[in-house]
A and B are shown apart, each in its own frame.
Chain A
Amino acid sequence: MITTYKGKSPAVVARAADLCGWKKMVSIDMDGTLNWWGETDHPTNSEIDAKLSEAQDAFDAQASKREDGNGALGAPDEE
């Protein structure tokens, strides 16, 4: 299991959370831990880790098609 998410893309982590069915917010604190902002029924780190590769692939696939390289989930189409 990943012990720190420091250096990970917050957008990839958000995608991984979404793949786990989590539609609420998640962020990475400065100490590298995931911040679920008081929510208790969030995915475990192991569940997030299991989706990271898939999330990264989806991020990269989207980013490669965009001028701004943005692979974040839900990013609006570029003009």
Chain B
Amino acid sequence: MALDRLGANALASDSVTAAKIANDAVSVADIADGSITTAKLADNAVTGAKIGQHEVKTDNIESSTSLHVDCTYTSGDNTVTTASTSSLAVGMEIHHSHGSNTTDADHNGNIIRAGTRISSITNATTFEMTIAAAGSGTDVLTHFTSGVTKSKIADSAVSIKKLADHDQAIEPLWTRLHYNAGANYTHQLISKQGTLISAANGNNGPAGIARLKGTTGHGDFIIMWTPGYSWGYSGIYAADVDGFVNLEDPAWMYSGGQNTGYHSYSFMNNNSNNIANIYHWNGSANSLVQNNTGLNGNTWRLWRVNGVLYAKAGGYANYTLQAANDRRDYVIWNISQSPNSCEIIQATRMPSGGA
């Protein structure tokens, strides 16, 4: 009689060893749903190749924490004491409180080595570090982080749109100078503490292009500038940030900002054509929305209040560029055509509302 089934009591507990299971003898179907527990997975056993694309969800990422706690270190020792370990967790990164994870002399402390983490919590007042302290110190203010930490973000990987709102705010400062039409180190193109960009190098001669620091954001803002009044066009471009793939690209080009599907505006003034014009690119076509005689030394304005975008060229009447629902985040740069100039007088977001 063939034996095709063993009773539950026929095998002693723990009697079937791995050596008695043939290769490929256990199929996935033989494993009960939910039967493989964390305890059955070896440390570091799950590799990247076993995780499908898009399988790691936001919910699965530990929430970021950042806290500062006084700790006492002993040189050469992994053990650290503190008033309470209740807020600490295994795996937290440990840095000097000023944010440096280095131990060089320029970053005071010289206690916590780069890459140090909490390896275990011993008790209510003691924990172990993965790397022994490089120096001793009592009640050293220490920075603990977890979740998405600084070490997981590559240098220069955070673009302007990922910064805190305040750090993205537009400022009256020409930055990221780009040489144009043969300009070089012999030409001073930015002056007045970064507020004036100018070129007086002949018709279509060497000039510079620069970008105002930050962007307008999606709310209220105001920008005021004085364009030059000479042969070349002076003024600014304002274009929707979303129309650009990457504003931080070193090769970011300062064209007219006429990106398909995205709005932009040009504010142009010169004396050779003697015009002070405003153009609107609606994503597919450019149109002249205000046609005026050129202005010499007047202040121009671009501002937004509650989704209404306005412009004003010198003493000419206010012009509504968009009557409602303008929530675009604009990047601003100058028109570059020698001889010309553009002095930024004011550029700021107005988080509490404009007027």
Contacts and interface: CB of A to CB of B under 8 A. Distances in A.
A30 to B, nearest CB: 6
Contact size class for B? 20 to 34
Interface string B174-199: 00000001101011000000000000
A10 B273 CA distance: 17
B273 A70 contact: no
Contact of B206 (A18, A24, A25, A72): A72
Consensus secondary structure, chain B interface: loop
Contact of A23 (B182, B200, B201, B272): B272
Contacts of B257: none
17 contacts: A9-B182, A10-B181, A11-B202, A11-B205, A14-B204, A15-B203, A18-B203, A24-B272, A24-B273, A25-B231, A25-B273, A25-B337, A37-B233, A39-B273, A67-B186, A68-B187, A72-B204
Contacts of A68: 184, 186-187, 201, 206
A39 B273 CA distance: 8
A40 B337 CA distance: 21
Contacts of B339: 74
Contact of B232 (A23, A25, A39, A69): A25
At the interface, is chain A mostly helix, strand, loop or mixed?
Answer: loop
Contacts, number: 71
A75 interface: yes
Nearest to A17: B203
B215 interface: no
B202 A72 contact: yes
A13 interface: yes
B323 interface: no
B285 interface: no
A69 B202 CA distance: 12
